[in-house]
Structure 1
Amino acid sequence: MKIKLLALIFLITTSNSIASDFKYVAVTDTVATVPKDTTNTDSMMMYWTEKNTFGVNMSEVAFVNWNSGGNNSISALFYANFERNFKRDHTLWKNSASLRYGINAQEGREVRKTEDEIRVKSSFGYRQDSTSNWYYSGRFSFNTQFSNGYKYPDTEKAISKFMAPGYTFLGAGTEFSHPEDDLTIYLSPITFKSTFVLDQRLADEGMFGVTPAVKDELGNIIEEGENLRTEFGFLVTSDFSKEVFDNVNFNNQLSLYSDYLNKFGNVDVDWQMNLNMKVNDFIKANVGSHIRYDDDVKFKEDTDGDGTLETSGPRVQLKQMLGVGVVYEF
Structure 2
Amino acid sequence: MKARDSRKLLLLLLLTLLSALLGAGAGASFIDVPSALGEILSGRAESPDARILLYVRLPRVCASLLAGSALAVAGLLIQAVLSNPLASPNVIGVNAGAGFFAFLFMAVLPGSTGACALGAFLGALAATLIVYAVAAAAGAGKLTIILAGVAVSSIFTAGLNAVKTFSPETLYNGSTFLIGGFSGVSMADITPAWVCILLALLGCMLLPRQLDVLCLGEETARSLGQPVGVIRFAAIILSCVLAGCAVSFSGLIGFVGLIVPHITRRLFGQSHRWLLPGACLLGACLVTFSDLLSRLLFSPYEIPVGILLSLTGGPFFLFLILRRRRR
TM-score w.r.t. length of structure 1 = 0.25
- Say which structure is richer in helix: 2
Higher relative contact order (CA 8 A, sep 6+): 2
Q: Which has the larger radius of gyration?
A: 1
